[in-house]
Structure 1
């Protein structure tokens, strides 16, 4: 029993490494398993340890070998990513209402209000960029909910970020997933790409700070 549980946990935590076994054993049900993992990784604050970037990339590589259909995979994972963030947002919002109305001296209401203001102003960029950052990806929609970011605005950037995340990594996996050096250094490559995208935003913020001073 213990061995079975250990094997199951290893499969879930490292499904990107065991995807060939999953495809052989479960066939079309592998789509559902990937959907569930992406939904949990983006939708449950307690599950940031599940694979995200690497899973999409490796799944894209299996599209190249025709084990997965590219469009079925992308659309399914896009729905999972959008639904996950949406659930995470509402969990944060449900908790947030109680936090904002709490009079506890342990809760810094000023900090909460600043977080709310930040997400109203910069939440869109945060939600999109967070898609490419493990762990932060799981917490960003939750914090957006806690800070009561406008839902329609959140959903716009939620869908945009999910589409960029899913399609870019699956397509990259399709074309480059079977090149060992890229496969082994995926996380570094993703971080470099996100850093390059975020650099202009950071420089603009620094410029504004110095200009005010």
Structure 2
């Protein structure tokens, strides 16, 4: 299977992620909680998987819960745990192996993404951990960079938990209360496009601003 086919399948999965989750919960039941935990943990905890869906998955999970197929409180707890634990693992990896990444090239890690996250962290300091939750790719690299910068573990944990609560509660609740409204349900791919655009917008604005300063 070529890269284009894989990309097309990936895009299709994200745009119709609600349908996939409904199918998964129908077939595997409570195991869907483990699937959701794994995806969010990997997206936030492993610097080699920034491509995994985060925002759209949380919204879709809330939609499935809103339809009565998942427990809303349990779904919230599982995803919150995955987000906090993922960032914590990422931070520890950054503390222990991060410095060597800057000194050599590696095929498993996009160094440009890492440098952008580092610049974002330098510009916003500790609050970058909270802000990064809402920005794809940067979300994956921010805790890694915080670990490299040797941010205080206690301070990082406070930013980590705060950001996770805002991110998970916001998107899961939006899906829970809005995802099954007919106009949203019938245009779910459009809503996902909107979430992606809103998520990427800060990166685009920052890119334009940086180029205007040159």
TM superposition score normalised by structure 2: 0.71
CA distance in 2 between partners of 1:84 and 1:76 (Å): 12
CA distance in 1 between partners of 2:82 and 2:101 (Å): 28
Which residue in the other structure is 1:174 paired with?
176
Which residue in the other structure is 2:97 paired with?
95
Which residue in the other structure is 1:14 paired with?
13
Which residue in the other structure is 1:48 paired with?
50
Give runs of aligned pairs for residues 128-207 of structure 1, distance below 5 A: 128-178=130-180, 179=184, 180-181=186-187, 184-186=190-192, 188-189=194-195, 192=198
- 1:33 shift after superposition: 0.8
- 1:186 shift after superposition: 3.7
- 1:195 shift after superposition: 6.7
Contact 1:42 1:81 in 2 (8 A): yes
CA distance in 2 between partners of 1:153 and 1:86 (Å): 12
CA distance in 2 between partners of 1:193 and 1:43 (Å): 19
- 1:190 shift after superposition: 6.6
SS class of match (1:131): helix
Contact 1:120 1:150 in 2 (8 A): no
- 1:20 shift after superposition: 1.2
Q: 1:47 to 1:192 in 2, by over 3 A?
A: closer
1:157-208 Cα distance to aligned partner (Å, 9 max, x none): 1000000000100000011113145652345347648979xx9xx9xxxxxx
SS class of match (1:14): helix
Which residue in the other structure is 1:61 paired with?
63
- 1:14 shift after superposition: 3.0
Give runs of aligned pairs for residues 24-35 of structure 1, distance below 5 A: 24-35=26-37
Between the two proteins, the alignment pairs up a number of residues equal to 180
CA distance in 2 between partners of 1:193 and 1:40 (Å): 19
Q: 1:164 to 1:22 in 2, by over 3 A?
A: same
Contact 2:95 2:149 in 1 (8 A): yes
Contact 2:87 2:160 in 1 (8 A): yes
- In the alignment, structure 2 segments of 5+ residues that lack a partner are 105-114, 207-214
Asked which structure has the greater CA Rg, the reply is 1
TM superposition score normalised by structure 1: 0.72
CA distance in 1 between partners of 2:24 and 2:173 (Å): 21
- In the alignment, structure 1 segments of 5+ residues that lack a partner are 105-111, 203-213
Q: 1:182 to 1:99 in 2, by over 3 A?
A: closer
Which residue in the other structure is 1:70 paired with?
72
CA RMSD after TM alignment: 3.4
